[in-house]
A and B are shown apart, each in its own frame.
Chain A
Amino acid sequence: MKNTFKVLWILVVFALIAAACGGDGDSDDDTTTTTQAAATETTAGATETTAATTTQAPDPDFAGKVLDAGGCEYGGDLEKLTAVDEFTVEFDLCKPNPAFLAQIAFGVFGIQPEEHLEATSGAPLDNPVGTGPYVLEEWVRGDSVNFSRFDDYYGPQPAHSTLVLKWATESAGRMLELQSGTVDGITFPGTEDLELIETDPNLSLLSKPEPNIFYVGFTDTFTPYDNVDVRKAIGMGIDRQQIVDIFYPVGSEVASHFTPCSVENGCQGESWYDFDPDAAKQMLSDAGYPDGFETSIFYRDVTRGYLPTPGDVAVNIQTQLRENLGIEAEVVQMESAEFIQACSSAGTCDGIHLLGWTGDYPHVTNFLDFHFGEGVAQFGGGHPEIWEPLAEASGIADASVAAPLYESANNAIKELVPMVPIAHAGAFFGASAAVEGSNAPPWGHVQLNLWDNGTDTVVFMQGNEPISLYCADESDGESLRACGQVIEALYSYDIEGNVRPQLATECAPNEALDLWTCTLRQGVLFHDGSTFDANDVVVSFTAGLDASSPLHTGNSGAFDYYSYLWNSLINVPEE
């Protein structure tokens, strides 16, 4: 009996050791990834693109590929993307798009070699191959992402040979690392730390003038928010100046419109209602709620530039609703993904929700069309008074011609109150004062290749670990910042936020703005040694846009930004 137990124990111990050492075959990939391995896979797996809609272009000198949506009936913006020759691609759009350049400069539209995408079956989640200033060396899960300088980079070479990207969820933790000198820069220091950074001679505060908005949203399919006067009363009954004064850093301002004024046409139309609790209370009473009502305030405890202290702001709004309007609100903290799904995507939050938006590209459509376009569920059914002028304006290139339409849309937003714009927040990065060239651009990711701390290694710390390094299928800033060091798009943003050519030397439109011809930069090498050409562009877009493509895999498979910025994916299977 005793021996039996001994044998049993030995078996258990061996099983544990085997489990710890073995795991599935990918376990090594879960902890570290090297680009050498990726490069090997790339050459081995090179095949013709098998996307259902990708066919050969009729150019005899170059086997150019085509992503063909087969028309515009599917509802999206791209009709056809053609590799005309080795260094020319044509975007044939379904409707004029004056924001095209700003849009394709967004990092999610980064280009990877077609062979690499095929070798990874459209999911290069931890082994991206790009043309950027850094090559991915290793992703040590839970600790850091390490990059090395790409010596064949065509642009300005980093002064350092190694870049380390680390993360700490709490702003206090990032601040501590910055103060102790173990990192050269951090994202979004806490509001309470800004003064510390400013007064510390060893540190510098980098203003990141990112256009953003924090708002209180209503889904107007739920009572009592189906009554416009209730929404309007709340819009007038919240002291927004108080929120900005108490909870926001310097450089923040009360929002006069949903879109910040730094975005062209963002501030057309009338400014938001002044704070008037008496009039608000009267309006609520006239709407049939003289004693207020009970509701919920939904929020997620995730710090963003537009909402530095979510919990405190939620409680402040709860207090204001009670004191100013007699509304008893329960504060409900939700898990981030669940919150976004329920309150933003599905529009199933039956109270008010606290959310915000940071601009992806410098065009007013990025703010207004996403939130108030036709069919957006977040604020209920939507209002044609808002989305009709928006739809018309989105096809007009001349900003001054589009201005009256945006004025009309903004005025309708004020009248119908789908949300209450609260604040445009000032956002900041922190850096060591010893770093030259530190930057915090308003658009796009921080350009760490310009940072020079006088040593061979630059360490930068952000708020979270990247979800994956395939940013075509990610939407969080942490992932985009990480893969932005490796992957480049046809256009990009400079540190001032201006759109500039990157992998393209120029994208020129036709007169109607619905055909954009991009001339590509020649002699550009990918990190795996392959040469960048037009087919890489077509295949990269095919992987993101064409839902029927075998390369349309990604991380979650949602490809949110492709779906949203191109209005729809191509070949979406019918439900």
Chain B
Amino acid sequence: MSKLSRHEAMEKLVAESSTDQLFEKPLGQWRLALRRFRGRKSGMVGLFLIASLILVAVFAPLIAPYDPNEDLIGEQDVRRYQEPCIHLLGCDRDQPQHLMGIDGNVRDYFSRIVYGSRVSLQLGFFTVTLALVVGSAIGAVSGYLGGWFDNIVMRFMDVILGFPALLLAIAIVAVLGPGLRNALIAIAIVTLPGYARVMRAQVLAIKESDYVAASQALGASPMQILVRRVVPNAMTPLVVLATLGIATAILEAAGLSFLGLGAQPPLAEWGSMLADYRNQVFTAPHLVFYPGLAIMITVLGFNLMGDGLRDALDPTLNR
């Protein structure tokens, strides 16, 4: 097969294209990504799960039949650890309906699971946002400035990365004291080096590109170049990382709560709910099954969505 010259290839392309196509405005990077994302079934399943979860969290007061922290002692004839009672599945209609049963403090477990989605989502989003903002800023400045500053900052990040994340988070919470806010800070601290490293790698590549050189030639200040040229073009992998990071953050927060270092009673949080009833795994399995299932669905949703985003934003898959 003979190789076409550049000019011949251009003429062939023009001949094969309709006039409309030729003058159609090219799709932007994000619109292209969205189009590709819609084509990924697993990503869409993830998006559906997350969207459902967000809706549950937002409309929790409407969905949950009871206050998650109020016990039903004296109000209903229910007992601790009572198994789920669902009228549609044959539970006696004289009995009050509790879709996920009753917990050890005689509270409706479904209401607690529903409200628990708020805590988990807030934790995931806030933690990742904090880590993303701080980590990206550190990585961007470090990568752009380079030299001794880059060396010191990145070695510090390496030190943090050298510790197992959950172990370091436990150590930080042990210093700050248990509680949801401190757990959030701890998880953000242990995850931010990942964002810093990715951002730095992106910046190192981008700052050598022609358009950055052009901006420099036009007299733009380093800050302008960093904020307007480099960072926006470096965000793509960070978005993917952040989406996957939410899942990790939720898991780590659940882990900290499981260890009694995260959410404190009576706050409904899935990890602490798991921990509270781990001893009832054989006698009241629903009390560990539902929070476990909720954590699994949430993490799965973010992972699927993250995978879909990665595929959609990956330029090597741009075919």
The number of residues on chain A lying at the interface, defined by a beta carbon within 8 Å of a beta carbon of chain B, is 25
Interface mask (A201-237 → B, CB under 8 Å = 1, otherwise 0): 0000000000000000000000000000000000000
The one of A171, A193, A309 in contact with B104, judged by C-beta atoms closer than 8 angstroms, is A309
A476: Cβ under 8 A from any B Cβ: no
- Give the 9 A-B residue pairs with the shortest CB-CB distance, closest first: A312-B104, A331-B265, A192-B283, A315-B265, A170-B279, A333-B260, A172-B279, A172-B282, A315-B105
B146 within 8 A of A: no
Distance A301 CA – B260 CA, assembled complex (angstroms): 9
Instruction: Judge whether A190 and B266 touch: CB under 8 Å.
Output: no
Within 8 A of B (CB), among A279-338: 301, 309, 311-312, 314-316, 318-319, 330-333
A195 nearest CB neighbor, chain B only: B283
Residues from 85 to 138 in B contacting A, C-beta threshold 8 Å: 104-106
Interface check A21, CB cutoff 8 A? no
User: Contacts of B105 on A, CB cut-off 8 Å?
Assistant: 312, 315-316, 319
A13 within 8 A of B: no
Q: Chain A residue with minimal CB distance to B272?
A: A311
Task: Indicate whether A190 sits within 8 Å of B280 (C-beta atoms), given known contacts A312-B105, A315-B105, A316-B105.
Answer: yes
Quick check: A330 and B264 within 8 Å, CB to CB?
A: yes
Q: Cα distance A76–B276 when bound, in Å?
A: 44
List A162-187 residues whose CB lies under 8 Å from chain B: 170-172, 175-176
A20 located at the interface, meaning its Cβ lies under 8 Å from any Cβ of chain B in the complex:
no
- The CB with the most chain B CB atoms within 10 A, among A193, A319, A332, is that of A319
Is the CB–CB distance between B283 and A190 below 8 Å? yes
Report the minimal beta-carbon distance from B158 to chain A, rounded to whole angstroms. 21
B280 touches A192 (CB 8 A): yes
The reply to whether the CB of B188 lies closer than 8 angstroms to some CB of chain A is no
B256 to nearest A CB, angstroms? 13
| Inter-chain contact A193/B283, CB cutoff 8 Å | yes
Known interface pairs A309-B104, A312-B105, A319-B71; A196-B276 also in contact (CB < 8 Å): no
Residue A246 lies at the interface, judged by CB distance under 8 Å to chain B = yes
* 13 additional A-B residue pairs with CB within 8 Å, beyond A170-B279, A172-B279, A319-B71: A170-B278, A171-B279, A175-B282, A176-B282, A192-B280, A196-B283, A242-B73, A311-B276, A312-B105, A315-B266, A319-B70, A332-B264, A333-B260
Q: Taking chain B's interface residues, is the majority helix, strand, or loop, or is none over half, making it mixed?
A: loop
**In the complex, residue of chain B having the shortest beta-carbon distance to the beta carbon of A171:** B279
Asked if B281 is at the interface of the complex by the 8 Å CB criterion, the answer is yes
Give the docked Cα–Cα distance between A196 and B260 (Å). 29
Which B residues touch A170, using CB under 8 A?
Answer: 278-279
Q: CA of A170 to CA of B282 in the docked complex: distance in angstroms?
A: 11
> Which B28-78 residues sit within 8 Å CB-CB of chain A?
69-71, 73-74
Is residue B178 contacting chain A, with contact meaning CB distance below 8 A? yes
B residues in contact with A247, CB < 8 Å: 80
Q: List residues of chain A with CB within 8 A of the CB of B80.
A: 192, 246-247, 312
B280→A318 contact, CB < 8 A: no
Q: Which residue of B is nearest A247, CB measured?
A: B80
Partner of B81, one of A171, A192, A314, A316: A192
In angstroms, Cα B63 to Cα A342, docked, is 43
Q: Please name the residue on chain B nearest to A169 by beta carbon.
A: B279
CB A60 to nearest CB in B, in angstroms, measures 63
In the bound complex, how far is the Cα of B276 from the Cα of A316, in angstroms?
A: 14
In the complex, the answer to whether A246 meets B73 with C-beta atoms within 8 Å is: yes
Within 8 A of A (CB), among B226-277: 260, 264-266, 276
Give Cα distance in the complex from A333 to B276, angstroms: 12
Q: Identify the closest chain B residue to A192 (Cβ).
A: B283
Cβ of B196 < 8 Å from any Cβ of A?
no
**Complex interface: chain B residues within 8 A of A312 (CB):** 80, 104-105, 276
A333 near B178: Cβ-Cβ < 8 Å: yes
| Residues on A with beta carbons closer than 8 Å to the beta carbon of B70 | 319
Measured CA separation A196–B283 after assembly (Å): 9
B236 to chain A, nearest CB (A): 38
Interface footprint category on B: 20 to 34
A243-288 CB contacts (< 8 Å) to partner B: 246-247
Most interface-central of A192, A247, A314 (chain B CB within 10 A) = A192
How distant is A188 from chain B, measured CB to nearest CB, in Å?
Answer: 12
The residue in chain A whose Cβ has the minimal distance to the Cβ of B71 is: A319
Task: Compute how far the CA of A314 lies from the CA of B104 in the bound complex, rounded to whole angstroms.
Answer: 11
Contact A172 B260, beta carbon cutoff 8 Å: no
Q: How far is the CB of A409 from chain B (nearest CB, A)?
A: 34
B266 touches A331 (CB 8 A): yes
Chain A contacts of B276 at CB under 8 A?
A: 311-312
Residue of A nearest to B69 (CB): A319
Bound: A322/B260 CA distance, A: 22
Q: Which of A172, A196, A247 lies at the interface centre, i.e. has the most chain B CB atoms within 10 A of its CB?
A: A172
Known: A246-B73, A333-B260. A311 touches B265 (CB 8 A): yes
Minimum distance in angstroms from B171 CB to a CB of chain A: 14
Q: Which residues of B contact A172 (CB under 8 A)?
A: 279-283
In this complex, the member of A193, A312, A316 whose beta carbon has the largest number of chain B beta carbons within 10 angstroms is: A312
User: Which residues of the other chain, B, contact A301 by a CB distance below 8 angstroms?
Assistant: 260
Nearest-CB distance from A354 to chain B (Å)? 13
Nearest chain A CB to B308's CB is how many angstroms away? 39
A192 to B284 CA separation, bound complex (whole angstroms): 9
- A552 → B minimal CB distance (Å): 34
Assembled-state Cα–Cα distance A196/B281 (Å): 15
A318–B266 CB distance below 8 A: yes
Closest CB of chain B to A237's CB: distance in Å?
16
Provide the residues of chain B in CB contact with A309, threshold 8 Å: 104
Q: Which residue of B lies closest to A316 (CB)?
A: B105
Instruction: State the Cβ distance, B107 to closest chain A Cβ, in Å.
Output: 9
Chain B residue, CB-CB nearest to A301:
B260
Which residues of A sit under 8 angstroms from B71, Cβ to Cβ? 316, 319
Distance of A342 from chain B, by nearest CB (Å): 14
Nearest CB of chain B from residue A292's CB, rounded to whole Å: 16
| Contact in complex: A246, B283 (CB < 8 Å) | no
Report yes or no: B283 in contact with A331, Cβ–Cβ below 8 A: no
Could you list 18 examples of A-B contacts with CB < 8 Å? Answer: A170-B278, A172-B279, A172-B282, A172-B283, A175-B283, A190-B280, A190-B283, A192-B280, A192-B283, A242-B73, A246-B106, A312-B104, A312-B276, A315-B105, A316-B105, A319-B105, A332-B178, A333-B264
CA distance A319 to B69 in the complex (A): 8
Complex Cα distance A315/B263, Å? 13
Closest chain A residue, CB of each to CB of B80: A246
Q: Which residue of B lies closest to A323 (CB)?
A: B70
The answer for the CA separation of A499 and B14 in the assembled complex, in Å, is: 107
Q: Which residue of A lies closest to B177 (CB)?
A: A332
CB proximity of A126 to chain B, nearest CB, Å: 29
Check B282–A331 contact: CB distance below 8 A: no
Shortest CB-to-CB span from B70 to chain A, Å, is 8
Closest CB of chain A to B82's CB: distance in Å?
Answer: 11
CB neighbours of B284 from chain A (8 A): 192
Residue of A nearest to B174 (CB): A335
Q: Which residues of B contact A316 (CB under 8 A)?
A: 71, 105
B50 CB, min distance to chain A CBs, angstroms: 31
A residues within 8 A CB of B280?
172, 190, 192
Inter-chain contacts of B278 with A (CB < 8 A):
170
How far apart sit A148 and B229, CA to CA, in the bound complex (Å)? 78
A314 to B265, CA, bound (A): 9
CB-based nearest B residue for A309:
B104
A16 to B283, CA, bound (A): 44
The chain A residue with its CB closest to the CB of B266 is A315
| Shortest CB distance A353–B (Å) | 15
C-alpha gap A172/B278 in the complex (Å) = 9
